Structure 1
Amino acid sequence: MTTPDSASSPRYSRIAGTGSFLPPRRLTNATLAAELAAQGVETSDDWIVERTGIRARHFVDAGVNASDLAVQAARHAIEAAGCAATDIDLIIVATSTPDMVFPSTACIVQHKLGVAGCPAFDLQAVCSGFVYALTVADSMIRTGAANRALVIGAEVFSRILDFKDRTTCVLFGDGAGAVVLEASATPGILASDLHADGKHVGILCVPGTVSGGQVLGDPLLKMDGQAVFKLAVGVLEQAARATLEKAGRTDADIDWLIPHQANIRIMQGTAKRLKLPLEKLVVTVDQHGNTSAASIPLALDSAVRSGKIRRGDTLMLEGVGGGFTWGAVLLDF
């Protein structure tokens, strides 16, 4: 960690290491289609690929929770950063599928990592969660509230899917991704831009809650796919351009675009609006499906470990999700 020399020196945050974890159970479209057919729901590999670009996803087994995935991703990120879990002084977990109502999944992760004392909390912005969490961690490091943060996106969306609704159940998967964000004298995270508009709550939601030991409402995911699509491409471009302007950069400075992995058409549409060749688009949606808050850090770690992303590259991360939330982060890796 290259920290500022004095209290008066500029203070920034940089990603020191990345990590990810996918549960072992992998379902191809053909496998999922066969399982759905047994329940009277018809779909096919061609139907799914044509509309989404998804070919496979991973589901957890019974008894495996978001914290279990998060811990594995965190350990990989900590190892890549060359530090120890005890060096972490802030833990933020972005998730919409926590282990419990409370305590936070972050506190559970903290305990499983064998550390204690540092602040740990969850952040709920659905598929934009990792972008939100990274921005919060960057702000805390810049102000001196933390020196080394563990930022995780972890989801078990298979637990909240309606497997009678072929328009949604084929889209999502489980997984976790993480980064270690460190204080640095050299800029890493350059700028971010976050937004939300609650009037769109109904187009993507899980309209259920727990009260008196009973589930009130519907505890399964509901989505108006066309409405989400129409909003997503436009707001993602706006957030990306606002972030570039804040950083004093242009489209041409982006080496890699890492969007939320929801739908290949949304992702490609955003890249085209930013005048980026599709070769600069990091794509894992075909193998992971939509893993909500985990999708960006999963894609980031995949590209880093494959050698595609290298130190010094400029990355644009962007997400859009239920809420309706959206945002972008520009960083020098």
Structure 2
Amino acid sequence: MTASQPGSRIVSVAHHQPTRVLTNDDLAALVDTSDAWIRSRVGIATRHVADADESVADMATVAAAKSLARAGADAADVDLVIVATCTAVDRMPSVAATVAARLGVPAAAVFDLNAACAGFTYALATADLAVRGGSARTALVVGVDKMSDFLDWQDRTTCVIFGDGAGAAVVTATEAAGPDRIGPAVWGSLPERGSAITLGTSGPTGPPALFRQDGHVVYRWAMTSLAPVARRACEAAGLDPSELAGVVTHQANLRIIEAVTSKIGATNAVIARDVVDSGNTSAASVPLALSKLVERAEVPQGAPVLLLGFGAGLSFAAQVVGCP
């Protein structure tokens, strides 16, 4: 992009997690598992779990409000709100509409986006396209999921993995050329293997909807497909992976994170490993982990950070952004 072409950048990021913390020992009292078993397979030590009265919209609103405050932005300036989630209970209004109403956003375009664990990176790419196309100037992008509502708490292969939370970013238009712009998205899917991760619907009289996955299929796909996607996103942004200051992948599990990032070539980057403390928070995991890197000042402001989301539908999206 040249300086004369419109672009977008992330000016702030924030997160919210429920106060209740569920340890591996807590889970061992519920299901046949142990701290050692969980750590050896997915690398998770703790996860945050929302109470029954804390909704997806509640978590999204808190994270979004924090992000607006950090950006010094007024809700009246927001003209686009996108919420990435796959666990909203209500069909309408959208979570985005509810968040906008609670924050006092007056007349923005609002919609939810479901790309599961790739949701935030999909939503960020969509906001970037809207800004570059002139349809928006200030966008609020939220990733949020409450997976605890949809877990089989007797299935030790899945209930130990997930946590609840939200992350949000404020995206604004920029005319200036520079590395802090949101880079082009490299995105896609492998729909023929989409049944590897499912979350059905209970319907009016059916059984409860529960999360299911074929972990072996997902793991093999992640090991072979995601590092090339990450390298293509770096190429699209005009930099070598060795120039990255940070890498924030979807926090699926620690084994996948470390295996994928070792293949990217980001030899000088800080690697986000928030999964250890937060578990897999689905669409919230990328912005939540990025927010924590920013809070700890582990990556310099404006430095290039690779974001890589992936999940159900075997969907993926990656882009390089400037650290807010």
* Cα-to-partner distance string for 1:108-149 (whole Å, 9 max, x where unaligned): 111111223110100000000001000000000001100000
Mapped contact 2:228–2:264 kept (Cα < 8 A): no
Paired position in structure 2 for 1:206: 199
Mapped contact 2:23–2:45 kept (Cα < 8 A): yes
Q: Which runs of 5+ in 1 are unaligned?
A: none
Paired position in structure 2 for 1:94: 84
Paired position in structure 2 for 1:45: 35
Please say if 1:20 is aligned against 2:11.
Answer: no
- TM-score (norm. length: structure 1): 0.92
SS at match of 1:169: coil
Mapped contact 2:137–2:172 kept (Cα < 8 A): yes
Mapped contact 1:200–1:324 kept (Cα < 8 A): yes
Report the AA paired with residue 21 of structure 1: H
Please say if 1:107 is aligned against 2:104.
Answer: no
Mapped contact 2:254–2:275 kept (Cα < 8 A): yes
Mapped contact 1:191–1:244 kept (Cα < 8 A): no
Report the AA paired with residue 104 of structure 1: S
Please say if 1:192 is aligned against 2:182.
Answer: no
Q: CA deviation at 1:271?
A: 1.2
Paired position in structure 2 for 1:255: 245
Q: CA deviation at 1:312?
A: 2.1
Q: CA deviation at 1:12?
A: 0.8
Q: 1:209 to 1:242 in 2, by over 3 A?
A: farther
Paired position in structure 1 for 2:230: 240
Paired position in structure 2 for 1:326: 316
Paired position in structure 2 for 1:296: 286
Mapped contact 2:242–2:267 kept (Cα < 8 A): no
SS at match of 2:153: coil
* Cα-to-partner distance string for 1:250-281 (whole Å, 9 max, x where unaligned): 11121111000011111111111012348621
Q: Which moved more, 1:226-235 or 1:172-181?
A: 226-235
Report the AA paired with residue 71 of structure 1: T
* Cα-to-partner distance string for 1:189-219 (whole Å, 9 max, x where unaligned): 1221010122112111113352xx223x661
* Cα-to-partner distance string for 1:299-330 (whole Å, 9 max, x where unaligned): 00001011112212100000110012112111
Q: CA deviation at 1:49?
A: 0.5
Mapped contact 2:249–2:257 kept (Cα < 8 A): yes
Q: 1:218 to 1:233 in 2, by over 3 A?
A: farther
Q: CA deviation at 1:99?
A: 3.7
* Cα-to-partner distance string for 1:153-200 (whole Å, 9 max, x where unaligned): 011000000011000000000000000000012341122101012211
Paired position in structure 2 for 1:77: 67
Separation (CA, whole Å) in 1 of partners of 2:109 and 2:212:
33
Mapped contact 1:67–1:108 kept (Cα < 8 A): yes
Q: Which runs of 5+ in 2 are unaligned?
A: none
Separation (CA, whole Å) in 2 of partners of 1:300 and 1:72:
17
Paired position in structure 2 for 1:282: 272
SS at match of 1:108: helix
Q: How many residues align?
A: 319
Q: Which moved more, 1:122-131 or 1:23-32?
A: 23-32
- TM-score (norm. length: structure 2): 0.95
Q: CA deviation at 1:28?
A: 1.1
Mapped contact 2:245–2:269 kept (Cα < 8 A): no
Paired position in structure 2 for 1:266: 256
SS at match of 2:184: strand
RMSD over aligned Cα, in angstroms?
1.6
Report the AA paired with residue 323 of structure 1: G
Separation (CA, whole Å) in 1 of partners of 2:202 and 2:100:
26
Paired position in structure 1 for 2:152: 162
